[in-house]
Chain A
Amino acid sequence: MEKAPTPVFKRSLFSWVFSGNIKLQVILLIIVVVTVFARVLPLEMQKRIINEAINLRKIDLLLIYCGIYIAAVVLASGLKFLINVLQSIIGQQAAASMRKGLYHHILTLPLNFFRRTQPGMVVASLITELATAGDFIGMAVAIPVTSVLTLLAIAGYLFWLNPLLAALSLSIYPLVVFLLPWLQKKANRENKKRVDTTRDLSSKIAESISGIHEIQGNGAFGIENRKYDRLVDKLTKVRIRWNIYRFAIKVSNNFFNNLSPFIIFILGGYLAIKGRLELGALVAFLSAQEKLFDPWRELIDFYQSYQDASVSYKRTMEYFDAESEYVLEPADRKPFELDGNIEIKDLSFATETGVRLLSEINVSLKSGQHLALVGFSGSGKSTLALCIGQLYNYTGGNLLIGEKEVATLTKKDIVQNVGFVSQSPFIFDGTIEENLLYACRAKLNSNDAAPDSSLPSLDDMIEVLQQTGIFVDVLRFGLNTVLAYDHDKTFVAKIIRVRENFQRNYGRTLTDYVEFFDDDRYLYYSSISENLILGTPGREEFSEKKLLRNDYFTTFLKQADLTRPLMNLGADLSRQTVDILGNLPPDEVFFQQSPINADELEEYRLLAERLRKTKLHQLSIPDQERLLELALRFTPGRHKMAALPEVLEKLILEGRALFRDKISKDDPGAVSFYDISEYIYSQTILNNIFFGKTKAESPQAQEKINQSIIQLLIAEDLLEAVIKIGMDFQVGSKGDKLSGGQRQKLAIARVFLKDPKIMILDEATSALDNKSQARIQNLLETRWKGNSTVIAVVHRLDIIKNYDRVAVMKAGKIGELGSYDELMAKKGMLYELVHGTK
């Protein structure tokens, strides 16, 4: 076996310095050496300019030396920039490898690990903590080498010039080496005290504010003031001491820095007067002295960042110091294709703390047999299912799938043969289609996106959507899509035909659920801007987003006497919405019925604040526009936090007529008004079919609408095309745009599509309605019995009658095992579960 690489969490901080970066680091070293040379060269030039060029009054030498001087300075600066660039590349690359390595490792950690780990902790580790380490890796070679080499080179040069003067002027540095760290330590200690005291003070303030009732009720101002003042005094003292140390560090740094020139002047001056030191050498000494300071400070900073980085790196890696329980992929063979036989012998599972969750489990299943695991919560049925799926590592006994011990199989072997639907399945951000193909993609290729040919076809996908009952939901997503202007024209023409059929066959019966577009009536389920224009913009400046920047439109609003009442409405809306949603996170649920989007809330919060102090006409122009914008979005049927005043409604209807007249005369191409024989590209497919908008989102309304629409789509052979559009629906982060039932159906569809040899269903249908549950159960029995082995953790006992075997679990053991009829006839535990305990 080849030597396994050190796991990421065992690697030392320094191991990242050269890994994958050797070339860059070597280039960096070469540049550093050249830089050091380029830094020392000007010193020698200074000396020669004075000694040779000036002293001997030689212009040509002056020009040559100055030329070399400036070239060295330019070179040194250019190289310094290059060093910084390389340093940053190395640092960022190291941080990226750490982040990738650690993330890849974290995903393989046992489920137990995540039970005690907060997602926030993982986020902070991967993002913040490793950034410090990465920055350090970037400087790990460049800074110390540059600084030390510079120091050595300058010191060497000084000794070469004059050993005595060099020794004396450098003699203060050992002193600095001791004094500065000592001061720094003191300052750090005070800083820690400052942080602690600030925390005490903060919690004191928070306590007083939340207990303000009690303070005011008791008139306990004196007591609380004293407690608070004491802490403030303490903080003041700590801060003063902290500042004193900080300034002491700064001042001594400066002092030592200035002390050197003093020594150089007094001793160097004396030597120069005596003719034992050239004037040029003295100047070189002086500027070398200045140049010593930078590398020195860089070294101190470097030490500090090393401390910070090593602490945060060590803490992070220690936190994730755990091994995956399984090998991910087989090294020297293809993944096994197992048969579906399952043999469980004397299986047990205990937690780390020794609590036995499963014991003495014995079950055997032939390939294609179906087993239901039932029992009260906590009886161990889910645990057993998770052990079979290799998500928990059983601690005793044997568990064989296709005669192979599960504990010895790699993750890839399991993934190849087992499909899993968990109790609360997780749906990832992306489209319906991506989620549907999730398991298939993972099975086909763990590294790269698989070629499309080996993935299920559209027909396969549609079939599982129908089987799991999520078909109608996906259809709905498709219908709620706004098509692009360049969408297939035959599709659009067919939708117009569907519209005609809809009006003819269902128009009357669905008036309770649909608000049809009507030139003469106010539309409560359309926005005010839609009500005013009732048409599709022919040009960009008449699109909903740009209306308020369109002078023609704003002038029209004024003419129609709408500006002020709309601004008033906007003010009302922003006040109410901010009041209701003010402190809520940007969650889909909270913002569904809000005219203000989550990302605009802060802006409108500030505006609402200004509205409290200012009259409408005193607001700035941008604020007035913001209010108008909000009002134009207002849709009374959806946004229930404000009412549409009757007067305004009338004004808008009049405005609609005025706008029509005006624009038809002034600019006929600007807007095409809704026409029952034309497709409306600014509206969804469904609204196009309706030639209106849905009023109600209730289940009954949806059911009625769906029934009619599906028939019409089938008649025009459009069903598949709309489903295809619906599969591009973005489900949102964690699938939060889907209901619990939809998520579960999608998860089941995902497994059905994968069609594995063994299916583990952990209360997979718990969130579904009766019909969907029955449909899926029926499908398991007709399509998968005999083909796939099914282990289903079941909560509802009315669906287990046709399972081959039923295991009743109690306290981690199987109490009864047999067919449903056998167990019911026995009148034992299952009978008791079905009929309730006496």
Chain B
Amino acid sequence: MNSSMEQNEMCPTCEFDKNLSILREIYFFSELPLDTLKVLAYLCTRENFKSGEYLFHQKEDDGRAFYLISGQARMFHEEGGSTVIIRDFDKDTFIGSLALLGSFRRLFSLQALTDMTCLILERQKFAKVLEQFPAIMPRVLQAAAGSIYSWEKKFLAQMDEGCDKCRRKLGVSVV
């Protein structure tokens, strides 16, 4: 049975309202005005993934951002013939804000580790919304730049001192 239906039967709140409150808690969208968020929440779709299914593949440009409503996902990197596990993502994580902003081929693959439900927003839809609300562009850019910046800040704070090699590659926030 589709998960959205189960929720529907249990409580009278509609999926749209739930999507809206999820978006409001995601840093990337949190600065956006309510009328824009409503449209985005409306355009989001929910998808179920069975354990083992891929959310996206390395080298593909799927152009989608994911919010993990339930379940876990694992990120891989394919190097030559082998696959290296990078990290796992738990529920309530948002992945792929950059995929909304421009066309990139994924550098990693993401696979469902358990059965999952995700909230998905497509770049094509996001672009249409940007077209309609051009005034939000600065906030979106700020959020994108901000998330890169805070990622590196956090990385610096948590970095293992022994990781000298990594240190030489630092500086993604000053590209």
Contact = CB atoms under 8 A, between A and B. Distances in A.
Interface of A: 512, 524, 576, 579-581, 583-585, 587, 589-590, 593, 636-637, 640-646, 695-698, 700, 739-740, 766-767, 769-770, 796
A645 B59 CA distance: 44
Interface stretch (B24-32, B36-44, B139-147, B154-162): B36-44
Contact of A580 (B5, B8, B39): B39
A643 B38 contact: no
A101 B38 CA distance: 47
Contacts of B13: 643
Given A579-B38, A740-B124, A770 B60 contact: yes
Interface residues of B, number: 32
A587 B2 CA distance: 28
A280 B139 CA distance: 86
Nearest to B56: A699
B122 to A, nearest CB: 9
A640 B49 contact: no
Given A524-B5, A580-B39, A767-B61, 13 more contacts: A576-B16, A581-B42, A583-B132, A584-B132, A593-B42, A593-B43, A637-B4, A640-B42, A646-B9, A696-B48, A698-B45, A769-B61, A770-B57
A766 B47 CA distance: 26
Contacts of A587: 128
A587 B132 CA distance: 11
Contact of B125 (A589, A646, A696, A697): A589
A769 B128 CA distance: 22
Given A589-B124, A769-B60, A581 B39 contact: yes
B16 A589 contact: no
Nearest to B15: A640
A695 B3 CA distance: 11
B24 to A, nearest CB: 15
A739 B124 CA distance: 8
B16 A641 contact: yes
B53 interface: yes
Contacts of B43: 589-590, 593
B101 to A, nearest CB: 15
Given A585-B132, A593-B43, A640 B16 contact: yes
Interface of B: 2, 4-5, 8-9, 12-16, 19, 35, 38-39, 42-43, 45, 47-49, 53, 57, 59-61, 63, 103, 105, 124-125, 128, 132
Contacts of B53: 700
A393 B122 CA distance: 38
A641 B47 contact: no
11 contacts: A581-B42, A583-B132, A585-B132, A589-B124, A589-B128, A590-B39, A637-B2, A643-B12, A697-B45, A740-B63, A770-B57
Contacts of A740: 63, 124
B8 A644 contact: yes
Contacts of A579: 38
Nearest to A697: B45
Q: Identify the interface centre among B4, B9, B12, B16: most chain A CB within 10 Å of its CB.
A: B16
B16 A696 contact: no
B84 to A, nearest CB: 19
A636 B14 CA distance: 9
B47 A696 contact: yes
Nearest to A796: B105
Contacts of A512: 2, 48
Contacts of A593: 42-43
Nearest to B9: A646
Nearest to A640: B15
Contact of B59 (A576, A580, A644, A770): A770
Contacts of A576: 16
B128 to A, nearest CB: 5
A583 B5 CA distance: 30
